[in-house]
Structure formats: C-alpha cells, structure tokens
C-alpha cells in the first residue's frame, strides 16, 4: 500500500511538472510567434505609410531590396541578398557546365580575340582557331568601344540548340570567314593544373569545389599514376570553396572508413556529421595540402580533416577562416537570400570561422591587410595562439582553433607580390597586351618550332630583345620601375612570367602552371618535404 501510494504521488508530481513545462514552452512559442508577427507588421506598415504619404514618388521594390540588404549586413559577413538576374550567374562557376559556343576569349584593342576553343566544343568542331578575331555577330559589327565582357556574354551565350552567326578575321586571310555556331553544353573545369612536379610526385591544383570536381580529381589521379605517381601535392591556395558535399567527397578520397570529415551546427540547425566511406582513390601515399590566406570554406574542410586525422602535411599560411554555412532561400520574384544557418567544425572540434563583429563587413574583409601589418604572413610566430583554443589530432598533436586552419609547416609570403612595378604591369594589362601582340606575329612559327608544352618549356627563350620590347610597351603605358621601390620583382622572374603567359595562350592553364611554378617557393618547399620524408616520420603521419 505504501509503495503504491508513493508511486502514485510521484506520478502526479511528474504530470504536474510536465504540464508546467508544456505551458511554459507554448507560452514561449506563442510569444516568439507574436513577436515575429508584430515585427513583420511593423515593416509592412512602414512601407505602406511611405507609399501613401511620402512627398515624392518612390520605387517600392528597390526600397525593399535595399532594406533586405541592410538587414543581412547586420547579421554576419556571408549572409547575402542576390538579385534574380544574378542568381544563375553566381551559381555558374560551381556548375559542371553552361550553354555557349565554347571559346576562351579576351578583349584586345576593342576586338574579341579567341584565346582558345574549348576542346570538343561547338567552335572547335567547326575549325575556329586560337588567334581568330570575331568581327561580326549576327551580321552586326562586334568591335569598338561598345565591346565589353557583358556584351560578349550576352550575344555568344544562349540555350543549347540555338545558333549564332559570327564572322571571323584570321591571320593570313584577306576576307572574313563566316560560321554558324550551334550552342551546346560547355564544361567548366575546376582543376587548373595536373602534372608531375618531380619523379613519383604528382601535383593537382583545384580552384573551386564544383559539381564535377571529384570526377576531375579522379581523372587527374589516373593520369598521374600512369606517369609513375606515388605521392601527391594538392594545391588549394586561392580556392575560395564551393559545395559542402563536394568537399566531403574529396576529403573521402584520402581517409579510411568511418572518419568524421566535418560537422555543422547552429542554433536552429541540429548537428550534422559527415563521415568517410573508406572507398577513396588515394588512401595510401604521402599527401601534402597547400593552403594560404585565400583558401576558404570547402578548402578548410578538406585541409582540416587531413590535419586532424594525421593523414598528411598541411603546408603554407593560415587559411581565410570562412566557417559559416549558407542555405539558399528563394524569394517570390526569383531573387535569393543566402542565409547563414550553421557553423563548420573540424573533426577535433575546431570552429573554422574567424571572429567577426555583426554589421562590420568592411572590417572583416580587411583581415588580409591586418595579417600583413602584424607580420603573420612572413613569420608564423606572429600568430596569436590561445591555450583555450587548443585541440588535438588523432595522434595527439596540438592544433589550434580561433579561425582558419594553421598549417603544420609555415611558408612566408613571396614579397615580390607587393612590387608596385609588377602590380602596375598586371593592372594595366602590359603582360596580356605584349603577349597578344607577340603571338599575332609569331603564333604559327612558335607552334611549328615548339609543337608541345614540353619542347616549349625546355627550349623557348624570352630573349633580351623581346624583354626590351616588353619594357618599351610598359613605358608607353607609363609603367616604369622606380629606384625607391621597396619590393623588387627580378627581371628573370618577369621573363618567366611572359613565357608562362605565352604558353597559356598557345595551350591552356595547365601549361601556364607548369612554367610559372618554377617561381613557386611554396611548391618547391612541398616537393623538398615530400622527397625528404622526415616531416612525415617526425609527425607520425599516415
């Protein structure tokens, strides 16, 4: 009897407690709903008052758009409003393809110059060549001051199956050549370079995490293995990210089964964990991931997972620190809001996102300048490390949170990047103008003498006469080296830059990186680390 009475007594107490919790929860929910309703009502009432009583006529859609932009700025640096007409354009670099005629072009002296047709694309199939100039589009002149990138995109891109007429001026031909090009799907590659950096060491440069990235990566691995690759350098420098699922799939290429790759969590977004499957294509072999201050988001997910599981070396400088997850929400007019809903965390629990103040977007993006001024880009000891942000890898190595991925091996930034002379050469288009002028006269001869990238790399020389012409062109554009300049860009390095850009115009970006990477001290450090193997042994990496 006593026992039964006691249980009944407890049961009543529990019922009462649950009732109180239920009532409190419902009060909270209704309170939040009422607060949201009043806020929405306040906004719409304000807009109605402006429309009804303001002294001048107003553009209501524009006003609402500006209000949305201002609201999102108060949240965090990565929540954003995207206009309807910009939605497709912003997503395009992360898609595997777009519809168009399939050429890489450049505006040269107010003319559309074909740098190269996309292999297998509609222009390539019709016989359009590198160096051709598009003079007319659909019967109308397509040269002069009206020509800009937007103009070209608008006229040459279009839905698959539609056609566009172009008239081309080709070197050695007196008359224009007419083509009718039927637009088709054009692939967008996310890998800029794949080649052997040294015997048994492959190099892959991934520029974004797009839909086709993992497929491209596996194809690159196959090509490198056919050339004797055993170890891999994955270059994620300057890679600002892309799709989360692609980052997870790429990290999965390196990790054995059931290893957490990343997890996300937010106030209203329950914790989501992502694990490896053990079915990757590069589970064995030494791995180095190159990162720098411009490596962000998906790049940090991959490098963080590799580091936390002691799978390879992370080399370079502290990454950007973009660890906020954006979810797209479509608006009725076709516009979109990318709203931050969660944060990324590495397997050890490090939050990738660097600190920020609400509403201070401009200051947030000055971080690179602050890193330079603090000395962080030239000396790893300048990075402030807090004991409260100490985490541990699978082997017990100490790693630090606080924003971004801090590399295992630090490499200082190349100070020649800050040369005013070099910056002006790039900014005023001197390299491109010189190379296009040079190839206008010499393309056929160069390709005949150097039929492939390897022969060009080994034998082509930027002569003193060529370099003098280059400097004369720069002088014409008021670009000259000043004796007082703090950072000096060596003449020989400029010659290599010219040579690499000529190679890009003759072939592709892969050719460019094979040549320009001669100047890449960070890549050279990675190759040395790989060949030595000491750092892998010392850190017990596997």
Distances (CA, A) of 207 to 4, 155, 211, 529: 70, 27, 13, 23
Average pLDDT over every residue of 366-388: 86
If we measure between CA atoms, which residue out of 343, 111, 151 comes closest to residue 244? 343
Higher pLDDT, 505 or 494: 494
pLDDT band at 92 (very low <50, low <70, confident <90, very high): low
pLDDT for residue 258 is more than 90: yes
- The mean-pLDDT minimum among 189-193, 356-360, 446-450 falls in 356-360
pLDDT band at 6 (very low <50, low <70, confident <90, very high): very low
Higher pLDDT, 10 or 34: 34
Domain residue spans in the chain? 40-73, 97-187, 191-327+341-359+367-413, 417-524
pLDDT band at 409 (very low <50, low <70, confident <90, very high): very high
Average pLDDT over every residue of 32-59: 81
Average pLDDT over every residue of 400-413: 94
Express each pLDDT in 206-221 by its tens digit: 999 999 999 999 999 9
191-327+341-359+367-413: which CATH number, 3.40.30.10, 3.40.720.10, 3.90.226.10, 3.40.50.970?
A: 3.90.226.10
pLDDT band at 96 (very low <50, low <70, confident <90, very high): low
Average pLDDT over every residue of 334-347: 94
pLDDT band at 417 (very low <50, low <70, confident <90, very high): confident
- The mean-pLDDT minimum among 113-117, 176-180, 198-202 falls in 113-117
Per-residue model confidence (pLDDT) at position 23 = 47
Q: What gap in Å lies between CA 290 and CA 316, rounded to an integer?
A: 6
Per-residue model confidence (pLDDT) at position 106 = 78
Higher pLDDT, 508 or 264: 264
Q: Which long-range contacts (CB under 8 A, 24 or more apart) does 518-524 make?
A: 519/414, 519/493, 521/411, 521/414, 522/237, 522/290, 522/292, 522/315, 522/316, 522/411, 522/414, 523/197, 523/203, 523/233, 523/235, 523/290
pLDDT for residue 27 is more than 70: no
- pLDDT over 70 percentage in the chain: 91
Per-residue model confidence (pLDDT) at position 4 = 39
- Measured at the alpha carbon of residue 355, what is the angle toward residues 352 and 356, in degrees to the nearest 5? 125
pLDDT for residue 45 is more than 60: yes
Higher pLDDT, 5 or 10: 10
Question: Which tokens belong to 383?
Answer: 């990075």
pLDDT for residue 3 is more than 50: no
Average pLDDT over every residue of 37-64: 85
Per-residue model confidence (pLDDT) at position 95 = 65
**Fold agreement (97-187, 191-327+341-359+367-413):** no
Distances (CA, A) of 347 to 270, 352, 353, 393: 17, 11, 14, 9
Per-residue model confidence (pLDDT) at position 11 = 58
pLDDT band at 8 (very low <50, low <70, confident <90, very high): very low
Average pLDDT over every residue of 357-376: 82
Per-residue model confidence (pLDDT) at position 29 = 46
Spacing of C-alpha 139 from chain mean position: 38
201 and 233 Cβ atoms separated by less than 8 Å: yes
Rg over alpha carbons for the chain, rounded to the nearest Å, is: 28
Higher pLDDT, 63 or 217: 217
Distances (CA, A) of 422 to 106, 490, 518, 519: 21, 10, 17, 14
Per-residue model confidence (pLDDT) at position 453 = 96
DSSP 8-state assignment for residue 21: H
pLDDT for residue 267 is more than 80: yes
Average pLDDT over every residue of 182-207: 92
Task: Write down the residue that tokens 């969660």 correspond to.
Answer: 342
Query: Of the ranges 87-91, 135-139, 276-280, which is most confident?
Result: 276-280
Per-residue model confidence (pLDDT) at position 7 = 41
Cα separation of the two ends of the chain = 66
Task: Write down the residue that tokens 């830059």 correspond to.
Answer: 497
pLDDT band at 5 (very low <50, low <70, confident <90, very high): very low
Average pLDDT over every residue of 372-395: 89
183 and 103 Cβ atoms separated by less than 8 Å: no
pLDDT band at 487 (very low <50, low <70, confident <90, very high): confident
Active site residues: 297, 308, 322
Mean pLDDT of the chain: 88
Q: Which fold has domain 97-187?
A: Pdz3 Domain (2.30.42)
pLDDT band at 123 (very low <50, low <70, confident <90, very high): confident
Average pLDDT over every residue of 402-428: 90
């Amino acid at each position: 009897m006593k026992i039964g009475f006691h249980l009944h007594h407890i049961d009543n107490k529990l019922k009462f407690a649950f009732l109180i919790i239920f009532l409190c929860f419902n009060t909270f929910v209704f309170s939040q709903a009422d607060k949201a309703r009043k806020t929405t009502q306040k906004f719409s009432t304000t807009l109605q008052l402006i429309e009804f009583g303001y002294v001048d006529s107003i553009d209501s859609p524009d006003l609402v758009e500006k209000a949305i932009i201002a609201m999102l700025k108060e949240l965090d640096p990565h929540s954003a409003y995207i206009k309807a007409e910009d939605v497709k354009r912003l997503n395009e670099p992360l898609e595997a393809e777009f519809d168009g005629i399939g050429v890489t072009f450049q505006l040269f002296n107010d003319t559309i110059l074909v740098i190269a047709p996309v292999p297998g694309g509609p222009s390539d199939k019709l016989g359009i060549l590198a160096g051709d100039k598009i003079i007319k589009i659909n019967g109308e002149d397509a040269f002069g001051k009206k020509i800009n990138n937007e103009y070209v995109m608008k006229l040459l891109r279009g839905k698959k199956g539609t056609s566009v007429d172009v008239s081309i001026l080709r070197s050695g031909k007196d008359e224009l050549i007419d083509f009718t090009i039927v637009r088709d799907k054009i692939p967008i590659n996310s890998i800029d370079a794949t080649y052997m950096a040294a015997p048994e060491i492959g190099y892959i440069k991934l520029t974004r995490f797009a839909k086709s990235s993992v497929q491209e990566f596996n194809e690159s691995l196959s090509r490198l293995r056919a050339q004797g690759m055993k170890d891999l350098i994955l270059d994620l420098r300057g890679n600002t990210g892309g799709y989360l699922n692609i980052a997870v799939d790429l990290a999965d290429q390196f990790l054995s089964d059931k290893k957490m790759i990343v997890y996300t969590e937010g106030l209203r977004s329950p914790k989501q964990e992502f694990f490896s499957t053990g079915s990757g294509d590069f589970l064995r072999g030494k791995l180095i991931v190159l990162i720098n201050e411009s490596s962000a988001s998906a790049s940090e997910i991959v490098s963080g997972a590799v580091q936390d599981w002691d799978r390879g070396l992370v080399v370079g400088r502290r990454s950007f620190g973009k660890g906020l997850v954006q979810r797209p929400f479509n608006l009725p007019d076709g516009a979109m809001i990318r709203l931050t809903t969660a944060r990324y965390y590495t397997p050890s629990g490090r939050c990738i996102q660097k600190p920020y103040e609400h509403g201070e977007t401009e200051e947030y993006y000055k971080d690179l300048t602050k890193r330079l001024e603090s000395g962080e880009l030239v000396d790893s000891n300048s990075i402030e490390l807090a004991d409260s942000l100490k985490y541990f890898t699978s082997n017990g190595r100490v790693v630090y949170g606080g924003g971004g991925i801090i590399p295992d091996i630090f490499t200082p930034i190349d100070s020649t990047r800050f040369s005013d002379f070099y910056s002006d050469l790039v900014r005023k288009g001197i390299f491109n103008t010189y190379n296009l002028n040079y190839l206008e006269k010499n393309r056929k001869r160069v390709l005949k003498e150097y039929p492939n990238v390897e022969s060009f790399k080994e034998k082509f020389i930027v002569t003193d006469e060529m370099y003098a012409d280059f400097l004369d062109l720069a002088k014409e554009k008021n670009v000259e080296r000043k004796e007082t300049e703090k950072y000096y860009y060596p003449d020989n390095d400029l010659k290599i830059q010219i040579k690499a850009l000529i190679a890009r115009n003759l072939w592709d970006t892969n050719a460019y990186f094979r040549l320009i990477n001669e100047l890449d001290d960070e890549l050279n450090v990675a190759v040395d680390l790989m060949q030595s193997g000491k750092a892998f042994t010392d850190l017990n990496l596997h």
